[in-house]
Amino acid sequence: MNKVRLLTPGPCPVPSRVRLAIARPVIHHRSDEYHRVHAEVVAGLRQVFRTSGDVFLFASSGTGVMESAVVNLLSAGDTAIVICGGKFGERWAEICKAHGVIVAPVDVDWGKAVDPASVEKALVEIPDAAAVFATLCETSTGTKTDIRALAAITREKRAVLVTDATSGLCVSELRMDAWGVDVAVAGCQKGLMLPTGLGVAVVGSAKARGLVEKSRLSKYYFDWKAAGAAATKNETAWSAPASLVIGLKESLDLIMAEGLDAVLARHARLARAGRAGAAALGLELLAKDSPAEGLTALIVPEGIQADALRERMAEQYGVLVAGGQGPLRGKIIRIAHMGYADALDVIAAISALEMALADLGWPVEIGKGVSAAERELRNQAGS
């Protein structure tokens, strides 16, 4: 028997209650039954995004709703400031360029968090910039962005702040309305504990609605005006992924039963335990100054091949973790503790990590990482 623990930063494990809900008979997407669940899901999403804004659902992965933000907010020839500190920041830039938007990148070393002052400087240099594109959790490096500080800057400016919250929602703090985040998008396969295939876009401010009115980029499936008209009837413009929406209702119920603040605190606790375990093994954290709560990215020690390490963890111990992307390929491993994750998932990850390192000949003291992670978890529990 090979029991698998999926500890990758997307997709993430799905609780059985959610899986069972998705397995219910298919319902029609123009029925009262669908209208009810759509309304409940929109209300729940407003709570987790902490917004009273407009919520649109799409049958799409996270990248689809990212593209929807670009094509609904901008026009060809507009300039967008894009924070590029990893694969997902670069994705914002690529989508903008694909649609004829001029990209002014704010380049950040991968693993570092953007200095909000550099975004402010870019906005002073490009006062007519239409948007700033940011990533709450840059999943390729395990770095958290200070969205609150960025929103405090864009609030005073013409540009809207657009946040990709895919791996940060229900994991790291995000307060759209209180902070002044104009637009946020997310795929639901991470902190929202769903299989991939449901994307959410949230328009939270009058400034963003003004851009939607003016936008001239081509769109059809992802047209937010069509989505808005359908939303007034608790529907989507095109066939809703109704089974996933039903699953999301269940996820949101689980999150609300635990309490959103408790959910965020759990992620912070798991992240601290993961970091303590890794440090005890002598492994270096990639994102030292601003590590995300949802995953821990670790630099693979010299003499160890990242792919061999991941393969050993998966094949011998059933623990699936992610490797590095782009320039970090072969240099890091990424352990997720995101969504449906608990203390023993982190212990399993650290245990598999230290055993696999020992198997590959790296000098680790077996049990040292697990011991440090357990001590961290028990400290935090107040024992």
Structure token digits, residue 319: 């623990």
State which residue, 188 or 240, has the beta carbon closest to ligand PLP.
188
| Min dist. Cβ of residue 189 to ligand PLP (A) | 6
State which residue, 118 or 196, has the beta carbon closest to ligand PLP.
196
Q: How far apart are CA 231 and CA 71, in angstroms?
A: 19
State which residue, 62 or 324, has the beta carbon closest to ligand PLP.
62
Can residue 90 be called a binding residue for ligand PLP (CB under 6 A)? no
Q: Which of residues 177-196 bind ligand PLP (CB under 6 A)?
A: 187, 196
State which residue, 66 or 270, has the beta carbon closest to ligand PLP.
66
**Is there a contact between 275 and 380 (Cβ–Cβ < 8 Å)?**
no
User: Rounded to whole angstroms, what are the CA distances from 342 to 219, 336, 349?
Assistant: 41, 11, 11
| Min dist. Cβ of residue 371 to ligand PLP (A) | 31
Q: How far apart are CA 176 and CA 148, in angstroms?
A: 9
Fill in the DSSP letter of residue 155: T
Q: Which of residues 311-340 bind ligand PLP (CB under 6 A)?
A: none
Instruction: List phi, psi (to 5°) of 138.
Output: -80, 95
Q: How far apart are CA 212 and CA 376, in angstroms?
A: 47
Q: How far apart are CA 277 and CA 300, in angstroms?
A: 14
Residues 34-63 as x/- pattern, contact with ligand PLP by CB under 6 A: ---------------------------xxx
| Min dist. Cβ of residue 191 to ligand PLP (A) | 10
Q: How far apart are CA 304 and CA 283, in angstroms?
A: 12
Q: Residue 16 is which amino acid?
A: S
Task: Give the other-Cβ count within 10 Å of 278's Cβ.
Answer: 25
Number of residues that bind ligand PLP (CB under 6 A): 12
Q: How far apart are CA 170 and CA 255, in angstroms?
A: 8
State which residue, 79 or 166, has the beta carbon closest to ligand PLP.
166
Q: Which of 135, 141, 236, 251 binds ligand PLP (CB under 6 A)?
A: 135
| Min dist. Cβ of residue 71 to ligand PLP (A) | 15
User: Rounded to whole angstroms, what are the CA distances from 18 to 23, 31, 246?
Assistant: 9, 21, 8
Can residue 88 be called a binding residue for ligand PLP (CB under 6 A)? yes
Can residue 68 be called a binding residue for ligand PLP (CB under 6 A)? no
Can residue 10 be called a binding residue for ligand PLP (CB under 6 A)? yes
Can residue 167 be called a binding residue for ligand PLP (CB under 6 A)? yes
Q: How far apart are CA 161 and CA 57, in angstroms?
A: 20
Can residue 75 be called a binding residue for ligand PLP (CB under 6 A)? no
State which residue, 116 or 142, has the beta carbon closest to ligand PLP.
142
Q: Would you list the DSSP string of 14-39?
A: --HHHHHHHTSPP--TTSHHHHHHHH
Q: Which of 145, 163, 166, 351 binds ligand PLP (CB under 6 A)?
A: 166
Q: How far apart are CA 272 and CA 343, in angstroms?
A: 11
State which residue, 81 or 355, has the beta carbon closest to ligand PLP.
81
| Min dist. Cβ of residue 273 to ligand PLP (A) | 21
Q: How far apart are CA 368 and CA 111, in angstroms?
A: 26
Stretch that binds ligand PLP, among 115-123, 164-172, 342-350, 365-373 (CB under 6 A): 164-172
| Min dist. Cβ of residue 166 to ligand PLP (A) | 4
- Kindly state the helix (H) or strand (E) to which residue 58 belongs, with its residue range: strand 54-59
| Min dist. Cβ of residue 327 to ligand PLP (A) | 17
The residues binding ligand PLP (CB under 6 A) are 10, 61-63, 88, 135, 139, 164, 166-167, 187, 196
